[in-house]
Structure 1
Amino acid sequence: MAGVTDAQPVDGKIVVDGVGKRFQSGSGTVEALRGVNFSVQEGEFVCIIGSSGAGKTTLFRIIAGLEEATDGTVWLDGEPIEGPGTDRGMVFQEYGLFPWRTVLGNVAFGLEQREMSKPARRERAERMIDLVGLGEFVDSYPKELSGGMKQRVGIARALAVNPEILLMDEPFGSVDAQTKQRLHAELLDIWRETGKTVMFVTHDVDEAVTLADRVVVLTGSPGSVHEVVDVDLDRPRARTDEAFAEYEERLRDAIG
Protein backbone atom coordinates (compact mmCIF):
# COMPACT_ATOMS: atom_id res chain seq x y z
CA MET A 1 0.00 0.00 0.00
CA ALA A 2 1.26 3.46 -0.87
CA GLY A 3 2.76 5.45 1.95
CA VAL A 4 3.36 2.57 4.35
CA THR A 5 5.20 3.75 7.45
CA ASP A 6 7.34 1.71 9.80
CA ALA A 7 4.80 1.04 12.53
CA GLN A 8 1.14 1.41 13.43
CA PRO A 9 0.81 4.92 14.91
CA VAL A 10 -1.86 4.25 17.58
CA ASP A 11 -3.44 1.25 19.27
CA GLY A 12 -6.43 -0.39 17.61
CA LYS A 13 -7.62 -3.51 15.84
CA ILE A 14 -7.90 -1.43 12.67
CA VAL A 15 -6.04 1.86 12.28
CA VAL A 16 -6.74 4.11 9.28
CA ASP A 17 -3.63 6.27 9.08
CA GLY A 18 -3.60 9.29 6.75
CA VAL A 19 -5.44 7.50 3.96
CA GLY A 20 -5.94 9.33 0.68
CA LYS A 21 -7.22 8.13 -2.67
CA ARG A 22 -6.95 9.69 -6.12
CA PHE A 23 -8.40 8.37 -9.36
CA GLN A 24 -7.60 9.22 -12.95
CA SER A 25 -10.61 10.10 -15.07
CA GLY A 26 -11.17 11.51 -18.52
CA SER A 27 -11.25 15.01 -17.09
CA GLY A 28 -8.12 14.59 -14.96
CA THR A 29 -7.36 13.56 -11.40
CA VAL A 30 -10.25 13.03 -8.97
CA GLU A 31 -9.43 13.07 -5.25
CA ALA A 32 -11.90 10.88 -3.34
CA LEU A 33 -10.27 10.82 0.11
CA ARG A 34 -7.71 12.99 1.88
CA GLY A 35 -5.98 12.45 5.23
CA VAL A 36 -8.48 10.02 6.75
CA ASN A 37 -7.54 9.04 10.31
CA PHE A 38 -9.40 6.93 12.89
CA SER A 39 -9.08 3.63 14.73
CA VAL A 40 -11.41 0.76 15.61
CA GLN A 41 -10.96 -1.32 18.75
CA GLU A 42 -11.38 -5.09 18.90
CA GLY A 43 -15.01 -6.12 19.31
CA GLU A 44 -16.29 -2.63 18.53
CA PHE A 45 -19.23 -1.84 16.23
CA VAL A 46 -18.33 1.24 14.17
CA CYS A 47 -20.49 2.85 11.50
CA ILE A 48 -19.16 5.10 8.73
CA ILE A 49 -21.62 7.67 7.44
CA GLY A 50 -21.41 10.66 5.14
CA SER A 51 -23.01 12.52 2.31
CA SER A 52 -22.97 11.25 -1.24
CA GLY A 53 -19.49 11.60 -2.69
CA ALA A 54 -17.73 11.67 0.69
CA GLY A 55 -15.85 8.46 -0.14
CA LYS A 56 -17.55 5.95 2.18
CA THR A 57 -17.48 3.02 -0.24
CA THR A 58 -13.99 3.92 -1.48
CA LEU A 59 -12.73 3.78 2.10
CA PHE A 60 -14.55 0.49 2.65
CA ARG A 61 -12.88 -1.02 -0.41
CA ILE A 62 -9.44 0.12 0.78
CA ILE A 63 -10.00 -1.46 4.21
CA ALA A 64 -11.23 -4.62 2.48
CA GLY A 65 -8.07 -4.70 0.37
CA LEU A 66 -10.03 -4.39 -2.87
CA GLU A 67 -8.37 -1.07 -3.73
CA GLU A 68 -5.02 0.44 -2.82
CA ALA A 69 -4.73 3.79 -1.08
CA THR A 70 -2.79 6.49 -2.90
CA ASP A 71 -1.52 7.83 0.43
CA GLY A 72 -1.38 6.47 3.94
CA THR A 73 -1.89 3.02 5.38
CA VAL A 74 -4.62 0.85 6.86
CA TRP A 75 -3.28 -1.37 9.65
CA LEU A 76 -4.84 -4.58 10.92
CA ASP A 77 -3.29 -5.93 14.12
CA GLY A 78 -0.16 -3.92 13.44
CA GLU A 79 0.31 -5.15 9.87
CA PRO A 80 -0.46 -3.09 6.75
CA ILE A 81 -3.40 -4.30 4.67
CA GLU A 82 -2.09 -5.07 1.20
CA GLY A 83 -4.99 -6.99 -0.33
CA PRO A 84 -8.07 -9.07 0.50
CA GLY A 85 -7.77 -11.66 3.23
CA THR A 86 -9.81 -14.23 5.15
CA ASP A 87 -9.32 -12.07 8.26
CA ARG A 88 -12.00 -9.77 6.76
CA GLY A 89 -15.47 -11.03 5.88
CA MET A 90 -17.45 -8.82 3.51
CA VAL A 91 -21.17 -8.23 3.08
CA PHE A 92 -22.45 -5.96 0.31
CA GLN A 93 -25.81 -4.43 -0.59
CA GLU A 94 -25.98 -6.73 -3.62
CA TYR A 95 -26.51 -10.23 -2.28
CA GLY A 96 -24.00 -11.89 -4.59
CA LEU A 97 -25.43 -15.36 -4.02
CA PHE A 98 -24.92 -18.15 -6.54
CA PRO A 99 -28.42 -18.91 -7.88
CA TRP A 100 -27.51 -22.52 -8.66
CA ARG A 101 -26.39 -23.21 -5.07
CA THR A 102 -28.58 -23.83 -2.07
CA VAL A 103 -28.31 -21.80 1.11
CA LEU A 104 -25.94 -24.46 2.44
CA GLY A 105 -23.88 -24.39 -0.76
CA ASN A 106 -23.59 -20.60 -0.72
CA VAL A 107 -22.53 -20.45 2.93
CA ALA A 108 -20.01 -23.27 2.50
CA PHE A 109 -18.43 -21.74 -0.61
CA GLY A 110 -15.60 -19.92 1.16
CA LEU A 111 -14.79 -23.04 3.17
CA GLU A 112 -14.16 -25.07 0.03
CA GLN A 113 -10.81 -23.34 -0.43
CA ARG A 114 -9.66 -24.56 2.98
CA GLU A 115 -8.25 -27.87 4.05
CA MET A 116 -11.42 -29.10 5.72
CA SER A 117 -13.24 -32.34 5.27
CA LYS A 118 -16.66 -32.20 3.64
CA PRO A 119 -18.42 -33.11 6.93
CA ALA A 120 -16.51 -30.37 8.77
CA ARG A 121 -17.45 -27.81 6.10
CA ARG A 122 -21.09 -28.81 6.33
CA GLU A 123 -21.07 -28.64 10.13
CA ARG A 124 -19.53 -25.16 10.12
CA ALA A 125 -21.91 -23.88 7.42
CA GLU A 126 -24.95 -25.29 9.18
CA ARG A 127 -23.86 -23.66 12.45
CA MET A 128 -23.67 -20.27 10.74
CA ILE A 129 -27.01 -20.80 9.02
CA ASP A 130 -28.57 -21.57 12.40
CA LEU A 131 -26.92 -18.45 13.82
CA VAL A 132 -28.73 -16.23 11.30
CA GLY A 133 -32.03 -18.04 11.86
CA LEU A 134 -32.29 -19.91 8.56
CA GLY A 135 -31.93 -23.48 9.77
CA GLU A 136 -35.14 -24.50 8.01
CA PHE A 137 -33.88 -23.20 4.66
CA VAL A 138 -30.56 -25.02 4.21
CA ASP A 139 -31.78 -26.70 1.02
CA SER A 140 -33.56 -23.66 -0.43
CA TYR A 141 -32.29 -21.71 -3.44
CA PRO A 142 -31.90 -17.91 -3.54
CA LYS A 143 -34.96 -17.47 -5.77
CA GLU A 144 -37.04 -18.96 -2.96
CA LEU A 145 -35.86 -16.42 -0.38
CA SER A 146 -36.92 -12.88 0.50
CA GLY A 147 -34.46 -10.01 0.31
CA GLY A 148 -33.89 -10.05 4.06
CA MET A 149 -33.28 -13.79 4.02
CA LYS A 150 -30.77 -13.44 1.18
CA GLN A 151 -28.86 -10.86 3.16
CA ARG A 152 -28.78 -13.17 6.18
CA VAL A 153 -27.27 -15.84 3.92
CA GLY A 154 -24.62 -13.29 2.95
CA ILE A 155 -23.84 -12.64 6.61
CA ALA A 156 -23.63 -16.37 7.33
CA ARG A 157 -21.29 -16.83 4.35
CA ALA A 158 -19.03 -14.02 5.60
CA LEU A 159 -18.95 -15.48 9.12
CA ALA A 160 -18.34 -19.06 7.98
CA VAL A 161 -14.63 -18.48 7.39
CA ASN A 162 -14.37 -17.03 10.92
CA PRO A 163 -12.98 -13.59 9.99
CA GLU A 164 -11.66 -11.24 12.64
CA ILE A 165 -13.47 -8.28 11.06
CA LEU A 166 -16.93 -8.12 9.50
CA LEU A 167 -17.07 -5.38 6.83
CA MET A 168 -20.55 -4.37 5.69
CA ASP A 169 -21.26 -1.88 2.89
CA GLU A 170 -24.88 -0.66 3.12
CA PRO A 171 -26.05 -4.29 3.47
CA PHE A 172 -29.67 -3.42 4.28
CA GLY A 173 -30.10 -0.63 1.75
CA SER A 174 -32.39 -2.61 -0.54
CA VAL A 175 -34.84 -4.04 2.02
CA ASP A 176 -38.03 -2.45 3.35
CA ALA A 177 -38.10 -0.55 6.64
CA GLN A 178 -39.77 -3.30 8.67
CA THR A 179 -37.30 -5.94 7.44
CA LYS A 180 -34.41 -3.56 8.10
CA GLN A 181 -35.43 -3.16 11.75
CA ARG A 182 -35.60 -6.92 12.19
CA LEU A 183 -32.19 -7.35 10.54
CA HIS A 184 -30.71 -4.71 12.85
CA ALA A 185 -31.82 -6.70 15.90
CA GLU A 186 -30.53 -9.95 14.42
CA LEU A 187 -27.18 -8.42 13.47
CA LEU A 188 -26.68 -7.05 16.98
CA ASP A 189 -27.48 -10.49 18.41
CA ILE A 190 -24.89 -12.06 16.08
CA TRP A 191 -22.34 -9.38 16.99
CA ARG A 192 -22.82 -10.00 20.71
CA GLU A 193 -22.66 -13.76 20.28
CA THR A 194 -19.55 -13.83 18.07
CA GLY A 195 -17.61 -10.87 19.51
CA LYS A 196 -16.57 -9.81 16.00
CA THR A 197 -15.29 -6.34 15.18
CA VAL A 198 -17.82 -4.77 12.78
CA MET A 199 -17.36 -1.86 10.38
CA PHE A 200 -20.65 -0.85 8.78
CA VAL A 201 -21.02 1.73 5.98
CA THR A 202 -24.40 3.45 5.73
CA HIS A 203 -25.99 6.68 4.52
CA ASP A 204 -28.85 6.17 7.03
CA VAL A 205 -28.35 8.22 10.21
CA ASP A 206 -31.12 6.32 12.03
CA GLU A 207 -29.37 3.05 11.21
CA ALA A 208 -26.04 4.33 12.51
CA VAL A 209 -27.53 5.44 15.84
CA THR A 210 -29.36 2.13 16.17
CA LEU A 211 -26.25 0.01 15.65
CA ALA A 212 -23.00 1.74 16.46
CA ASP A 213 -20.74 2.13 19.45
CA ARG A 214 -19.11 4.96 17.51
CA VAL A 215 -19.91 6.75 14.25
CA VAL A 216 -17.22 8.08 11.90
CA VAL A 217 -18.60 11.02 9.91
CA LEU A 218 -17.01 11.65 6.52
CA THR A 219 -17.67 14.98 4.86
CA GLY A 220 -16.45 17.01 1.93
CA SER A 221 -15.05 16.21 -1.46
CA PRO A 222 -12.42 14.87 -1.06
CA GLY A 223 -13.80 13.02 1.94
CA SER A 224 -12.16 13.43 5.33
CA VAL A 225 -13.15 12.72 8.92
CA HIS A 226 -15.31 15.57 10.21
CA GLU A 227 -16.08 13.99 13.58
CA VAL A 228 -16.13 10.67 15.44
CA VAL A 229 -19.22 10.42 17.66
CA ASP A 230 -19.51 8.04 20.63
CA VAL A 231 -23.09 6.73 20.88
CA ASP A 232 -23.57 6.37 24.62
CA LEU A 233 -26.98 4.66 24.66
CA ASP A 234 -27.99 1.34 26.15
CA ARG A 235 -29.18 -1.36 23.77
CA PRO A 236 -31.79 -2.05 22.52
CA ARG A 237 -32.27 1.55 21.44
CA ALA A 238 -35.70 3.06 20.96
CA ARG A 239 -36.08 5.55 18.13
CA THR A 240 -38.75 7.35 20.15
CA ASP A 241 -36.30 8.25 22.94
CA GLU A 242 -35.25 11.89 23.19
CA ALA A 243 -31.57 10.94 23.46
CA PHE A 244 -31.81 8.89 20.24
CA ALA A 245 -33.26 11.91 18.43
CA GLU A 246 -30.48 14.12 19.79
CA TYR A 247 -27.83 11.81 18.31
CA GLU A 248 -29.68 11.81 14.98
CA GLU A 249 -29.72 15.61 14.94
CA ARG A 250 -26.04 15.81 15.87
CA LEU A 251 -25.04 13.44 13.08
CA ARG A 252 -27.21 15.19 10.48
CA ASP A 253 -25.66 18.52 11.46
CA ALA A 254 -22.18 16.97 11.16
CA ILE A 255 -22.91 15.62 7.68
CA GLY A 256 -24.20 19.04 6.64
Structure 2
Amino acid sequence: MAGVSDDSGVVVDRVGKTYDGDGDPVRALDDVSFSVEGGEFVCLVGPSGCGKTTLFRVIAGLADATDGEVRLDGTPVTGPTTDMGVVFQEYHLFPWLTVEENVGFGLERSDRSADERAARVDEMLDLVGLGEFRGSYPKSLSGGMKQRVAIARALAVDPDLLLMDEPFGAVDAQTREMLQRELLDVWASTGKTVLFVTHDVAEAVTLADRIVVMAAEPGRVREVVDVDVDRPRERGDPAFGERVARVRELIGARP
Protein backbone atom coordinates (compact mmCIF):
# COMPACT_ATOMS: atom_id res chain seq x y z
CA MET A 1 0.00 0.00 0.00
CA ALA A 2 1.25 3.46 -0.78
CA GLY A 3 2.20 5.37 2.36
CA VAL A 4 2.13 9.07 3.09
CA SER A 5 4.83 11.43 4.16
CA ASP A 6 5.04 12.05 7.89
CA ASP A 7 4.18 15.74 7.44
CA SER A 8 0.63 15.10 6.23
CA GLY A 9 -2.20 13.01 7.63
CA VAL A 10 -2.10 10.15 10.10
CA VAL A 11 0.19 7.11 10.02
CA VAL A 12 -0.49 3.92 11.98
CA ASP A 13 2.91 2.28 12.06
CA ARG A 14 3.18 -1.41 13.09
CA VAL A 15 0.87 -0.93 16.06
CA GLY A 16 0.40 -3.85 18.42
CA LYS A 17 -1.56 -4.13 21.64
CA THR A 18 -1.33 -6.92 24.22
CA TYR A 19 -3.50 -7.12 27.32
CA ASP A 20 -2.12 -8.87 30.39
CA GLY A 21 -4.80 -10.61 32.41
CA ASP A 22 -5.08 -13.33 35.04
CA GLY A 23 -4.43 -15.94 32.37
CA ASP A 24 -2.35 -15.82 29.24
CA PRO A 25 -1.74 -12.43 27.60
CA VAL A 26 -4.27 -11.51 24.90
CA ARG A 27 -2.96 -10.04 21.65
CA ALA A 28 -5.67 -7.59 20.54
CA LEU A 29 -3.74 -5.91 17.71
CA ASP A 30 -0.77 -7.18 15.75
CA ASP A 31 1.43 -5.21 13.33
CA VAL A 32 -1.35 -2.85 12.20
CA SER A 33 -0.10 -0.41 9.56
CA PHE A 34 -1.97 1.98 7.29
CA SER A 35 -2.09 5.68 6.57
CA VAL A 36 -4.63 8.40 5.87
CA GLU A 37 -3.49 11.23 3.64
CA GLY A 38 -4.25 14.82 4.47
CA GLY A 39 -7.81 15.62 3.35
CA GLU A 40 -8.68 11.97 2.74
CA PHE A 41 -11.78 10.16 4.06
CA VAL A 42 -10.93 6.62 5.20
CA CYS A 43 -13.24 4.11 6.88
CA LEU A 44 -12.18 1.25 9.14
CA VAL A 45 -14.32 -1.92 9.16
CA GLY A 46 -13.93 -5.49 10.34
CA PRO A 47 -15.58 -8.43 12.08
CA SER A 48 -16.32 -8.65 15.79
CA GLY A 49 -13.13 -9.09 17.76
CA CYS A 50 -10.89 -7.36 15.21
CA GLY A 51 -9.86 -4.66 17.66
CA LYS A 52 -11.53 -1.63 16.04
CA THR A 53 -12.33 -0.05 19.40
CA THR A 54 -8.85 -0.76 20.78
CA LEU A 55 -7.25 0.73 17.67
CA PHE A 56 -9.53 3.76 17.85
CA ARG A 57 -8.43 4.39 21.44
CA VAL A 58 -4.76 4.06 20.52
CA ILE A 59 -5.11 6.48 17.59
CA ALA A 60 -7.04 8.95 19.78
CA GLY A 61 -4.30 8.84 22.42
CA LEU A 62 -6.67 7.30 24.96
CA ALA A 63 -4.66 4.06 25.23
CA ASP A 64 -1.01 3.16 24.76
CA ALA A 65 0.20 0.75 22.11
CA THR A 66 2.34 -2.14 23.29
CA ASP A 67 4.49 -1.68 20.23
CA GLY A 68 4.58 0.57 17.18
CA GLU A 69 3.21 4.10 17.14
CA VAL A 70 0.68 6.49 15.64
CA ARG A 71 1.88 9.75 14.09
CA LEU A 72 -0.27 12.75 13.27
CA ASP A 73 1.39 15.15 10.82
CA GLY A 74 4.72 13.55 11.71
CA THR A 75 4.36 13.88 15.49
CA PRO A 76 3.88 10.74 17.63
CA VAL A 77 0.51 10.60 19.39
CA THR A 78 1.20 10.14 23.11
CA GLY A 79 -2.14 11.31 24.50
CA PRO A 80 -5.29 13.27 23.66
CA THR A 81 -4.55 16.38 21.62
CA THR A 82 -6.49 19.34 20.25
CA ASP A 83 -5.00 18.45 16.85
CA MET A 84 -7.56 15.65 16.80
CA GLY A 85 -11.33 16.05 17.02
CA VAL A 86 -13.02 12.92 18.39
CA VAL A 87 -16.68 11.97 17.91
CA PHE A 88 -18.12 8.91 19.65
CA GLN A 89 -21.31 6.93 19.12
CA GLU A 90 -22.64 8.38 22.38
CA TYR A 91 -23.00 12.13 22.08
CA HIS A 92 -21.24 13.06 25.35
CA LEU A 93 -22.87 16.49 25.40
CA PHE A 94 -23.04 18.44 28.64
CA PRO A 95 -26.76 18.50 29.53
CA TRP A 96 -26.43 21.70 31.57
CA LEU A 97 -24.97 23.63 28.63
CA THR A 98 -26.82 25.00 25.62
CA VAL A 99 -25.99 23.96 22.06
CA GLU A 100 -23.91 27.10 21.67
CA GLU A 101 -22.03 26.46 24.92
CA ASN A 102 -21.40 22.80 24.05
CA VAL A 103 -19.93 23.72 20.66
CA GLY A 104 -17.71 26.36 22.22
CA PHE A 105 -16.55 24.26 25.16
CA GLY A 106 -13.23 23.21 23.65
CA LEU A 107 -12.40 26.80 22.73
CA GLU A 108 -12.47 28.02 26.33
CA ARG A 109 -8.81 27.10 26.88
CA SER A 110 -7.64 28.43 23.54
CA ASP A 111 -5.78 31.69 23.07
CA ARG A 112 -8.62 33.13 20.96
CA SER A 113 -10.38 36.26 22.13
CA ALA A 114 -14.01 36.12 23.24
CA ASP A 115 -15.09 37.64 19.92
CA GLU A 116 -13.03 35.10 17.97
CA ARG A 117 -14.51 32.23 19.96
CA ALA A 118 -18.03 33.52 19.38
CA ALA A 119 -17.39 33.88 15.64
CA ARG A 120 -16.01 30.34 15.47
CA VAL A 121 -19.06 28.94 17.26
CA ASP A 122 -21.35 30.82 14.85
CA GLU A 123 -19.41 29.36 11.92
CA MET A 124 -19.72 25.80 13.23
CA LEU A 125 -23.43 26.14 14.02
CA ASP A 126 -24.05 27.38 10.48
CA LEU A 127 -21.94 24.52 9.10
CA VAL A 128 -24.15 21.87 10.73
CA GLY A 129 -27.40 23.82 10.32
CA LEU A 130 -28.15 24.40 13.98
CA GLY A 131 -27.95 28.17 14.26
CA GLU A 132 -31.59 28.51 15.27
CA PHE A 133 -31.13 25.96 18.08
CA ARG A 134 -28.14 27.68 19.68
CA GLY A 135 -30.02 28.37 22.90
CA SER A 136 -31.54 24.91 23.21
CA TYR A 137 -30.42 22.26 25.67
CA PRO A 138 -29.49 18.69 24.61
CA LYS A 139 -32.61 17.17 26.18
CA SER A 140 -34.78 18.99 23.62
CA LEU A 141 -32.82 17.75 20.59
CA SER A 142 -33.28 14.64 18.45
CA GLY A 143 -30.52 12.05 18.26
CA GLY A 144 -29.41 13.31 14.87
CA MET A 145 -29.25 16.90 16.09
CA LYS A 146 -27.22 15.87 19.15
CA GLN A 147 -24.67 14.18 16.91
CA ARG A 148 -24.46 17.28 14.72
CA VAL A 149 -23.66 19.27 17.86
CA ALA A 150 -20.95 16.73 18.72
CA ILE A 151 -19.46 17.08 15.23
CA ALA A 152 -19.56 20.88 15.43
CA ARG A 153 -17.84 20.77 18.83
CA ALA A 154 -15.11 18.48 17.48
CA LEU A 155 -14.52 20.77 14.49
CA ALA A 156 -14.61 24.02 16.49
CA VAL A 157 -10.98 23.68 17.62
CA ASP A 158 -9.93 23.26 13.96
CA PRO A 159 -8.28 19.83 14.36
CA ASP A 160 -6.02 18.25 11.75
CA LEU A 161 -7.88 14.92 12.05
CA LEU A 162 -11.55 14.15 12.66
CA LEU A 163 -11.67 10.71 14.30
CA MET A 164 -15.15 9.14 14.47
CA ASP A 165 -16.19 5.91 16.21
CA GLU A 166 -19.51 4.62 14.83
CA PRO A 167 -21.00 8.11 15.25
CA PHE A 168 -24.32 7.27 13.58
CA GLY A 169 -24.86 3.89 15.22
CA ALA A 170 -27.46 5.16 17.70
CA VAL A 171 -29.86 6.76 15.21
CA ASP A 172 -32.53 5.31 12.92
CA ALA A 173 -31.77 4.38 9.31
CA GLN A 174 -33.35 7.48 7.76
CA THR A 175 -31.49 9.84 10.10
CA ARG A 176 -28.29 7.88 9.50
CA GLU A 177 -28.46 8.45 5.74
CA MET A 178 -29.18 12.14 6.28
CA LEU A 179 -26.18 12.46 8.61
CA GLN A 180 -23.96 10.65 6.11
CA ARG A 181 -24.86 13.19 3.43
CA GLU A 182 -24.32 16.08 5.82
CA LEU A 183 -20.96 14.71 6.94
CA LEU A 184 -19.78 14.47 3.34
CA ASP A 185 -20.85 18.10 2.82
CA VAL A 186 -18.91 19.15 5.94
CA TRP A 187 -15.87 17.17 4.81
CA ALA A 188 -15.99 18.70 1.33
CA SER A 189 -16.30 22.23 2.70
CA THR A 190 -13.61 21.92 5.38
CA GLY A 191 -11.06 19.65 3.68
CA LYS A 192 -10.50 17.81 6.97
CA THR A 193 -8.77 14.44 7.21
CA VAL A 194 -11.35 11.89 8.44
CA LEU A 195 -10.91 8.41 9.90
CA PHE A 196 -14.32 6.85 10.46
CA VAL A 197 -14.88 3.53 12.27
CA THR A 198 -18.05 1.62 11.37
CA HIS A 199 -19.49 -1.90 11.33
CA ASP A 200 -21.81 -0.97 8.43
CA VAL A 201 -20.19 -1.91 5.11
CA ALA A 202 -22.67 0.06 3.00
CA GLU A 203 -21.99 3.13 5.13
CA ALA A 204 -18.24 2.72 4.55
CA VAL A 205 -18.73 2.43 0.78
CA THR A 206 -21.01 5.50 0.83
CA LEU A 207 -18.45 7.65 2.62
CA ALA A 208 -14.89 6.55 2.04
CA ASP A 209 -12.11 7.16 -0.44
CA ARG A 210 -10.55 3.97 0.90
CA ILE A 211 -11.67 1.26 3.33
CA VAL A 212 -9.24 -0.45 5.71
CA VAL A 213 -10.61 -3.97 6.25
CA MET A 214 -9.39 -5.69 9.40
CA ALA A 215 -9.18 -9.35 10.33
CA ALA A 216 -9.61 -10.71 13.85
CA GLU A 217 -7.74 -12.65 16.52
CA PRO A 218 -5.47 -10.80 16.59
CA GLY A 219 -6.66 -7.60 14.92
CA ARG A 220 -4.67 -6.82 11.79
CA VAL A 221 -5.14 -5.25 8.37
CA ARG A 222 -6.42 -7.75 5.82
CA GLU A 223 -6.67 -5.41 2.85
CA VAL A 224 -7.23 -1.78 1.89
CA VAL A 225 -10.00 -1.33 -0.69
CA ASP A 226 -10.12 1.71 -2.97
CA VAL A 227 -13.64 3.05 -3.49
CA ASP A 228 -13.16 4.58 -6.92
CA VAL A 229 -16.83 5.43 -7.44
CA ASP A 230 -17.93 8.99 -8.18
CA ARG A 231 -19.85 10.85 -5.49
CA PRO A 232 -22.70 11.13 -4.75
CA ARG A 233 -22.97 7.34 -4.60
CA GLU A 234 -26.23 5.51 -5.12
CA ARG A 235 -26.78 2.16 -3.46
CA GLY A 236 -28.49 0.84 -6.57
CA ASP A 237 -25.38 1.47 -8.68
CA PRO A 238 -23.73 -1.86 -9.71
CA ALA A 239 -20.29 -0.39 -8.90
CA PHE A 240 -21.51 0.41 -5.38
CA GLY A 241 -22.79 -3.14 -4.95
CA GLU A 242 -19.50 -4.59 -6.18
CA ARG A 243 -17.51 -2.69 -3.53
CA VAL A 244 -19.94 -3.73 -0.80
CA ALA A 245 -19.67 -7.37 -1.89
CA ARG A 246 -15.87 -7.21 -1.96
CA VAL A 247 -15.59 -5.76 1.55
CA ARG A 248 -18.11 -8.26 2.94
CA GLU A 249 -16.15 -11.07 1.31
CA LEU A 250 -12.96 -9.87 3.00
CA ILE A 251 -14.67 -9.56 6.39
CA GLY A 252 -16.07 -13.07 6.13
CA ALA A 253 -12.88 -14.66 4.78
CA ARG A 254 -10.94 -17.08 6.93
CA PRO A 255 -7.33 -16.28 7.83
The C-alpha deviation readout for 1:201-241, integer Å capped at 9, x for no partner, is 00000000000000000112110000000000000100011
Contact 2:50/2:216 (8 A) holds in 1: yes
Residue in 1 that maps onto 2:48:
52
Q: Distance in 2 between matches of 1:161 and 1:73?
A: 24
Instruction: Pick the aligned partner of 1:94 from 90, 94, 97.
Output: 90
1:242 aligns with 2:244: no
Specify which of 195, 202, 207 is matched with residue 203 of structure 2.
Answer: 207
- For residue 9 of structure 2, what is the aligned residue in structure 1? 13
Distance 2:11 2:93 in 1: 31
The 3-state SS of whatever aligns with 2:70 is strand
Matched residue of 2:53: which SS? Answer: helix
The Cα offsets for residues 90-134 of structure 1, whole Å up to 9 and x where unpaired, read as 000000000000000000000001122222212111110110011
1:230 partner letter: D
TM-score normalised according to structure 2 size: 0.95
2:107 to 108, 111, 116: 111
1:233 aligns with 2:229: yes
Deviation per CA, 1:122-161: give whole Å up to 9, x if none: 2111110110011110000000000000000000000000
Aligned to 2:117: 121
Segments of structure 1 that go 5 or more residues without pairing to the other structure are 1-8
Question: What is residue 3 of structure 1 aligned with on the other side?
Answer: none
Matches of 1:187 and 1:153 in 2, distance apart? 12
Letter in 2 for 1:150: K
Picking from 171, 188, 195, the partner of 1:192 is 188
Pick one of 69, 72, 75 that aligns with 2:68. 72
Percent identity reads 64
Q: Which amino acid aligns with 2:124?
A: M
User: 1:163 & 1:26 partners in 2: Cα distance?
Assistant: 39
Write the deviation string for residues 23-81 of structure 1: whole angstroms up to 9, x where unpaired: 12233311110000111111000000001110111111111111110011111122211
Counterpart of 2:128 (choices 129, 132, 140) is 132
Distance 1:138 1:10 in 2: 39
Determine the C-alpha separation between the residues in 1 that align with 2:174 and 2:100.
26
- The answer for unaligned runs of 5 or more in structure 2 is none
SS where residue 233 of structure 2 aligns? coil
Q: Which amino acid in the other structure matches residue 109 of structure 1?
A: F
Task: Please state how far the C-alpha of 1:10 moved relative to its aligned partner.
Answer: 5.2
Q: Could you tell me which amino acid in structure 2 is paired with residue 211 of structure 1?
A: L
Total equivalences in the alignment: 248
Q: Is 1:169 aligned with 2:165?
A: yes
For residues 85 and 189 of structure 1, the distance between their equivalents in structure 2, rounded to whole angstroms, comes to 25
Q: Normalising to structure 1: TM-score of the pair?
A: 0.95
**Distance (whole Å) between structure 1 residues aligned to residue 49 and residue 216 of structure 2:** 8
For the residues of structure 2 that align with 1:126 and 1:77, how far apart are their CA atoms?
28
